[in-house]
Amino acid sequence: MLKLLFRSTLTALGLALLVAPTALEAQLRNVVSKEVAVGRSEAALRLEFSDDGTLEIAFEDGVVLINGAVAGMFEPGDDLEVAWRSLLGQAVSLDDGELAGMLSDWSVPAGLASELADLAQDVDRALEDALSSFDVTLRSDDATVSLSIGDEASLLRLLLNSTSRLGLMQQALAGLRGDFTIHVDEDLVVPAGTTVDGTVVVIQGDVRIGGEVDGDVVVVDGTLELLEQSRVRGEVRLANARLLRNLGTVEDGLVDLSDEERDLKSEIRSQVREEVREEFRSQLRREIRDVTRLEFSDDDSGFSLMAPFRSVFRGVGELIKNLISILVLGLLGAGAVAFAGTKVDTIAETARRAPGRSAMVGLAGTLLLIPVWLLGAVVLSISIIGIPVAVAWLPLFPLAACAAGVVGYVVVARNTGEWLADSQYPWTGWIRKSNPIYTIFGGLFGLMFAFMAANVTSILPFLGFLTGLLAFAGAVITFFAIQIGFGAVVLTRAGRRREWSSTYDADAAWGAAMDMDIEVDVDATADQVEEDPDDA
């Protein structure tokens, strides 16, 4: 029933267009929405009409696009672009009727070069076609049906989009220019000796050409016969149509869009097949990777040939990580000594002389880091001027805090290295107290010794408790080292303020010079002097 109704409508509309031209009345469409976008390389207009139609014309990067299709090229700054931008400048302040009238009245600027003039003509036509509206009134004995048609092509698009099969016609219409004669649901005969001007479109009808068509011939849902001596001066396009006989001449060739559609389907099918294949391959790769990873993972479930070596791999891996950490921290420390040796000395001296105070300050500083960070951001955000500073403050403050922690830790490592150099512990003979690089690396080994020992014991069986104990000890040592170092950095304002004024210690200097330990009890010596002044 619906199909019958649809066919009847097509027939009626086709007849209306053909036999009742006087029933057409042109007027401007209602523009309900407008968008004008102007940039350095773009000047675009987008309109929406009350009947849901749209028009989009864009001059973009040297290309003119009409409803997304390339209409031609222009040179940025040429007369056509200037005229178009001027038109958009006027369109900005107008709406609906005034806008439609202004756009519809636009004409091709005078003095354009021929190619630009053609392009301008296309733009003008697109504007006029989109903005013009035709009212078709069909009258019969018992009813009147009114229909508004946006432009000459919209009726056709409306009809052709109604079924997916007829959607082929959109391809058939692509790029066609000039006058159209549309026949819906009827046959067309062009007798020998006659000529039809312009493009002929026949929908749901058969075409028999004995004469001449001065344009393209498009057949949808029908058949085409080209008789002897017949001539088509354009292209023949068949959309879901058959060519019964081809005895005439087609100057621009014949295109079977059904074949194209078949090719397109085939191409899509191949693409889908390829995508599925690729998906399958990547799935397989993922599974293989997961299986391989399982072999080395900590998951003890199931049997694996690698199981006996897991602890060795893990322990050695962790040990290497710690060694790399020592290397990186040592290099950072060496850099700090090289570029800010005096400041490092000041921080080290404070950490050595007042480790408890430094640790307390470091702990308090650590606890206050986040509140200070947030408060600083809020205070800076109060003023507009402060906002850029706040933006810098947000990332830089945490970075500075981390840097202070790292430098503090390295400084404590240096002190530890000096202490190890003085000690008689085995394997510490290589640490030369006079060279800060040695003391830093020595100290780092000392501070991280517990971690590395834990890495070694983790390789061996039955030593889990000892491993945990060593790791805990390492964590405690690291925590206090960082707190002491960070506190010393804070106390000395990053080494700029000396906490302790250096005084000359003659005994220490003598001891250092003689490489011997001297302990002098000053009070006892004084008492002795008082008791035996002569001996003294």
Residues that bind other proteins (CB under 8 A): 30-40, 42, 50, 92, 95-96, 378, 381-385, 387-388, 391
Strand 195-197 to 212-214 pairing: parallel
Largest CA distance in the chain: 155
Q: What is the C-alpha to C-alpha distance for residues 260 and 169, in angstroms, rounded to an integer?
A: 12
At 51, give phi and psi (nearest 5°): -95, 25
Q: What is the C-alpha to C-alpha distance for residues 320 and 455, in angstroms, rounded to an integer?
A: 9
Strand positions, DSSP E, 29-154: 31-38, 42-49, 54-60, 63-66, 69-73, 132-139, 144-149
Q: Please say whether the beta carbons of 415 and 345 come within 8 A.
A: no
In 3D, which of 160, 119, 131, 193 has the Cα closest to residue 13?
Answer: 160
Residue count (the chain)? 536
Task: Estimate to the nearest angstrom the gap between the alpha carbon of 187 and the chain centroid.
Answer: 55
Q: What is the C-alpha to C-alpha distance for residues 91 and 407, in angstroms, rounded to an integer?
A: 64
Order of strands, sheet of 223-226, starting from the edge strand that comes earlier in the sequence: 188-190, 207-209, 223-226, 242-246
Q: Please say whether the beta carbons of 196 and 214 come within 8 A.
A: yes
The half-sphere exposure of 196 on its side-chain side, counting CA atoms within 13 A, is 26
DSSP 197: E
DSSP 95: -
Residue 320 is encoded by which pair of tokens? 């290497």
What is the residue-wise DSSP string for 402-420?
A: HHHHHHHHHHHHHHHHHHH
- Burial class, 17, CB count within 10 angstroms (exposed 0-12 / middle 13-18 / buried 19+): buried
Q: What is the C-alpha to C-alpha distance for residues 535 and 339, in angstroms, rounded to an integer?
A: 53
Residue 403 is encoded by which pair of tokens? 């840097």
Distance between first and last Cα of the chain: 136
Angle 307-308-314 from CA coordinates, rounded to 5°: 80
Q: What is the C-alpha to C-alpha distance for residues 507 and 528, in angstroms, rounded to an integer?
A: 19
